[in-house]
């Protein structure tokens, strides 16, 4: 997240700045190409007499950045903000202490309520946090139950924000539920970084989140689970991830097993003739199962099994082979997109095998 995402203000020459009262909604001024170092003393943005950047020499000005969502006159609460957070990269966020305190179970890591210092009563106290503005932005949007997707935070930022929610005593299980914008944001990022987002869901036992993310993990290679990921995602979610893969591969093997239906002997195709198709099916399906991956495509199945028909002269055998491939593909499509649970895969299999029995 670059500085252009925050409101930029030019303050009076440094050293003479005196906090002034907050009046109108601050006007953003264009950001200079190179920002002066962050202010060492916490000023009160913005000051009433704003100057254009060109009127001030670079060494005498101080640029301060204020959140474009959490600025003094932002209409995000019934009352004006009474608390200011300062991110590690010196961006100011104006918030409501009751909102932050109401979300936190540990007094925002015991930083709230803040100790009021003299001279800051008019704008509320300033609390410096160790989080970067991009991370703090996601945290505060979560606390206010607002979406921050328009800021396009990346995977690392969102992960850091969820960890920080936990650190500040904000229950992750309550703030990352299907109805919250943060849940939707994590879900939207999951195709880009499925294992990272799945690990995050596992770390905080967010089952409702892990389920949809798991659909992006079929192509993930299990040997790529590092010690760090395994430790963070918790044993239950590691187990689910393995079952997602092994359960599907096991299901595929079971689905592949039955050969095409034999037919009553005809003058040109007796049982011995038909056995050659059964053997060819067994060989081809063993080849498929050997290299099976949970994301095996239906076209791969088709291209491995369809050529078996090339050597068949019997039309009934041809037709039975086509039916069997069609059935296998539809069964695999159902199993492939079902969730993780090994029990569920087993249930599906038993239902499918029941259908197989009743099918002609
Ligand atoms: Zn035949």
| Tokens linked to 93 | 């966020």
Show pLDDT as tens, one digit a residue, over the chain (360 residues): 555 578 777 654 443 333 333 333 333 333 333 333 333 333 333 333 333 344 444 555 788 899 999 999 898 888 899 999 999 999 999 999 999 999 999 999 999 887 766 555 556 789 999 999 999 999 999 999 999 999 999 999 999 999 999 999 999 999 999 999 999 999 999 999 999 999 999 999 999 999 999 989 988 999 999 999 999 999 999 999 998 888 888 888 999 999 999 999 999 999 998 999 999 999 999 988 887 888 888 899 999 999 999 988 999 999 999 999 999 999 988 887 665 444 455 555 566 555 544 443
Å from CA of 297 to ligand 1 middle:
28
227-270 tens-digit pLDDT: 999 999 999 999 999 988 888 888 889 999 999 999 999 999 99
Å from CA of 255 to ligand 1 middle:
22
Strand partners, 128: 86
49 Rama sector, left if φ>0, alpha if ψ -120 to 50, beta otherwise: beta
Å from CA of 25 to ligand 1 middle:
83
Kindly list the domain boundaries of the chain, sorted by start residue: 3-148, 237-358
Å from CA of 320 to ligand 1 middle:
9
300-346 tens-digit pLDDT: 999 999 999 998 899 999 999 999 999 999 998 888 766 544 445 55
Going by C-alpha positions, the residue among 90, 1, 78, 89 that lies closest to residue 45 is 90
Å from CA of 261 to ligand 1 middle:
10
Å from CA of 279 to ligand 1 middle:
14
Å from CA of 332 to ligand 1 middle:
26
Residues 40 and 192: beta-carbon distance below 8 Å: no
């Amino acid at each position: 997240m670059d500085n252009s995402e925050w409101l930029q203000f030019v303050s009076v020459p440094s050293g003479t700045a005196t906090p002034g009262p907050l009046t109108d909604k601050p006007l953003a001024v264009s950001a200079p190409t190179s920002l002066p170092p962050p202010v060492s003393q916490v000023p009160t943005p913005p000051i009433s007499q704003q100057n254009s950047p060109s009127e001030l020499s670079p060494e005498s000005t101080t640029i301060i950045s204020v959140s474009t969502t959490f600025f003094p006159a932002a209409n995000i609460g019934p009352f004006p903000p009474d608390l200011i957070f300062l991110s590690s990269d010196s961006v100011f966020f104006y918030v409501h202490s009751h909102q932050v305190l109401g979300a936190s179970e540990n007094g925002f890591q015991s930083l709230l309520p803040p100790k009021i210092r003299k001279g800051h009563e008019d704008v509320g106290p300033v609390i410096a946090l160790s989080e970067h503005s991009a991370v703090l932005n996601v945290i505060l949007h979560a606390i206010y139950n607002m979406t921050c997707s328009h800021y396009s935070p990346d995977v690392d930022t969102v992960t850091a924000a969820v960890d920080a929610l936990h650190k500040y005593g904000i229950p992750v299980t309550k703030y990352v539920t299907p109805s919250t914008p943060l849940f939707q944001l994590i879900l939207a990022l999951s195709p880009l970084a499925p294992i990272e987002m799945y690990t995050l869901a596992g770390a905080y036992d967010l089952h409702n989140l892990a389920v949809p993310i798991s659909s992006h993990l079929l192509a993930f290679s299990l040997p790529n689970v590092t010690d760090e990921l395994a430790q963070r995602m918790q044993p239950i979610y590691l187990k689910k991830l393995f079952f997602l893969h092994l359960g599907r591969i096991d299901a595929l093997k079971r689905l592949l097993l039955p050969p095409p239906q034999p037919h009553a002997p005809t003058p040109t195709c007796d049982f011995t003739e038909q056995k050659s198709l059964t053997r060819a099916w067994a060989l081809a399906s063993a080849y498929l199962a050997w290299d099976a991956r949970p994301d095996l495509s239906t076209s791969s199945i088709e291209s491995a099994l369809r050529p078996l028909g090339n050597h068949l002269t019997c039309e009934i055998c041809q037709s039975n082979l086509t039916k069997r491939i069609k059935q296998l593909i539809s069964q695999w499509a159902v199993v492939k997109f079902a969730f993780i649970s090994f029990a569920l895969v087993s249930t599906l299999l038993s239902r499918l095998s029941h259908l197989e029995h009743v099918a002609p």
